[in-house]
């Protein structure tokens, strides 16, 4: 990847690029009829609202609102609902992140719809780069983004907030071109809970100390903040004052675990069904390990019943230490199925389950005992499965109980309002007709 050109006196800055209303924007990218109307995206099993368009927010709809409370009035107010289409969102996210990386000195993907980028240039050149990025993402993916630029991650996040809430900035905010007085004026109006990492509970504690705005927190003594709160909040204060304290993700320790879990649309009540669940979930987790170049040495399988079922809750789990670190889907699937074999009680209605992999390490690590490396890993079976599912969808191939089937299991997630998987499923590709 070639680095973007910059002036001889260019300074490096941090940009936070965030897709606006990501889930809703993904839906609108393939369905223009959704533009300008209130849209909500629902959680697993169409339970509650997890994403809202600006028009839905204007109706007073809150994140977490159960769909059954909105369903009756939806036609009257023109509200449109969509089930979570994770295949579509994940694919569009990967396309956006790959595209953003072309414009950056370095890139750190922060979440499915956010990425930190390293940029270089004068303040005006950085603004122009931000506009170029917005145009490129819109042209190639159809998704709208905002770009916030600052000297630290916290300031970049804050600048992104300003870009979103002030349309005259056309989606790009560089704090340095705004000037110190303008930035101070905005910080004095934004509540401290509008800051990255400051939730309502922490905000209440800060207000008790007389710190109610972002400007108040920036003016606070970092040592006092650390003593009364935490080193994390102290770093926020320092970052607000231009001192970079939050390292890049690749400078941190690797994450310690990976979890693949889902809730069921219909309770799983038999051991046979749970074996199928464990096989599918373990292979999905193995695919994630493969994509991230990691291996696991410990597997934990678990399930649970509903708190609202009116009967005693049950949360069986079992942990298995693997013979050697692995990302082999066959080994992980057998381990997950075997772990839950004696834990599941026939007839008990389990409503969720998951597989957690821990003891993670780089797949490049040399195994201590070659005899523990499975034949499947020698043939790169995990990599092969990952490539097939990436190209043809998660249901295109599987092993054993997770193999291809003409019938969808009853327990799979309910998505009555799902849009097509436009980019990951051949049978659901959009059709364009010329007149």
Structure tokens at 197: 């990492």
For the chain, what are the domain ranges?
A: 23-84, 191-250, 257-402
| Annotation: CATH topology of 257-402 | Dna Ligase; domain 1 (3.30.1490)
How confident is residue 132, by pLDDT bands cut at 50, 70 and 90?
very high
Measured CA to CA, the distance from residue 327 to residue 325 in angstroms comes to 7
DSSP-based three-state secondary structure for 58: helix
**Residues 29-55 pLDDT 10s:** 999 899 999 999 998 778 889 899 999
Which fold does the domain 191-250 belong to in CATH? DNA polymerase; domain 1 (1.10.150)
Nearest-angstrom CA–CA distance, 377 and 373: 7
Q: Is 414 helix (H, G, I), strand (E, B) or coil?
A: coil
Instruction: Using the predicted structure, report yes or no on whether residue 205 has a pLDDT greater than 50.
Output: yes
Per-residue confidence band for 108, with pLDDT thresholds at 50, 70 and 90: confident
Closest CA relative to residue 422, chosen from 32, 20, 137, 19: 32
Q: Structure tokens of 206?
A: 């800060």
Second CATH level (architecture) for the domain 23-84: 3-Layer(aba) Sandwich (3.40)
Band (7; pLDDT cuts 50, 70, 90): very low
How far is C-alpha 30 from the chain's CA centre? 21
R_g of the chain computed on alpha carbons: 24
Say which DSSP state 33 is in: G
Q: How confident is the model at residue 251 (pLDDT cuts 50, 70, 90)?
A: very low
What pLDDT shows up at residue 253? 42
Tell whether the model's pLDDT for residue 75 goes beyond 50. yes
Dump pLDDT digits (tens) for 376-435: 554 555 555 666 655 555 555 555 555 545 455 655 556 777 888 888 777 888 887 777
What pairing do the DSSP bridges indicate for beta strands 317-326 and 294-305?
Answer: antiparallel
Tell whether pTM > 0.85.
Answer: no
Residue 223 has pLDDT above 60, yes or no: yes
> 189: buried, middle or exposed (CB in 10 Å: 19+, 13-18, 0-12)?
exposed
pLDDT, residue 254, reads 44
Helix then strand then coil, % of the chain, to nearest 5: 45, 20, 35
pLDDT digits (tens, 9 = 90+) for 330-382: 899 999 999 988 888 988 999 888 888 888 887 765 554 444 455 555 455 55
């Amino acid at each position: 990847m070639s680095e973007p050109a910059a002036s001889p006196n260019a300074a490096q800055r941090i940009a936070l690029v965030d897709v606006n209303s990501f889930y809703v924007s993904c839906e609108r990218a393939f369905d223009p009829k959704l533009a300008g109307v209130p849209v909500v995206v629902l959680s697993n099993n169409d339970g509650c609202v997890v994403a809202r368009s600006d028009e839905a927010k204007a109706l007073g709809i809150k994140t977490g609102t159960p769909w059954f409370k909105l369903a009756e009035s939806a036609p009257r107010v023109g509200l449109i609902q969509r089930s979570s289409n994770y295949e579509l969102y994940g694919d569009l996210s990967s396309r956006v992140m790959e595209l953003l990386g072309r414009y950056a000195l370095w890139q750190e993907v922060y979440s499915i719809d956010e990425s930190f980028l390293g940029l270089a240039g004068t303040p005006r050149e950085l603004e122009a780069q931000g506009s170029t990025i917005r145009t490129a993402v819109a042209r190639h993916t159809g998704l709208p983004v905002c770009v916030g630029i600052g000297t630290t991650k916290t300031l970049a996040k804050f600048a992104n907030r300003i870009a979103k809430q002030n349309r005259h900035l056309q989606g790009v905010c560089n704090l340095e071109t705004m000037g110190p007085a303008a930035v101070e004026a905005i910080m004095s109006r934004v509540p401290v809970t509008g800051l990255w990492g400051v939730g309502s509970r922490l905000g209440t504690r800060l207000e008790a100390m007389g710190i109610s705005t972002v400007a108040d927190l920036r003016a606070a003594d970092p040592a006092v903040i650390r003593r009364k709160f935490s080193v994390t909040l102290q770093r926020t204060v320092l970052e607000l004052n231009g001192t970079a304290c939050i390292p890049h993700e690749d400078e941190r320790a690797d994450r310690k675990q990976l979890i693949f879990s889902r809730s069921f649309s219909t309770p799983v009540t038999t051991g046979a069904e749970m074996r199928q669940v464990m096989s599918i979930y373990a292979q999905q987790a193995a695919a994630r390990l493969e994509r991230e170049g990691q291996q696991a040495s410990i597997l934990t399988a678990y399930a649970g019943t509903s708190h609202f079922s009116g009967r005693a809750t049950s949360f069986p789990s079992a942990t298995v230490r693997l013979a050697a670190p692995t990302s082999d889907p066959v080994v992980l699937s057998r381990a997950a199925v075997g772990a839950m074999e004696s834990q599941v009680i026939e007839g008990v209605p389990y409503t969720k389950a998951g597989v957690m992999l821990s003891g993670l390490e780089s797949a490049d690590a040399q195994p201590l005992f070659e005899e523990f490396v499975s034949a499947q890993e020698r043939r790169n079976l995990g990599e092969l499965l990952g490539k097939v599912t990436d190209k043809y969808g998660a249901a295109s191939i599987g092993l054993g109980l997770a193999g291809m089937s003409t019938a969808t299991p009853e327990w799979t997630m309910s998505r009555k309002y799902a849009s097509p998987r436009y980019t990951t499923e051949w049978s659901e590709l959009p059709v364009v007709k010329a007149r």
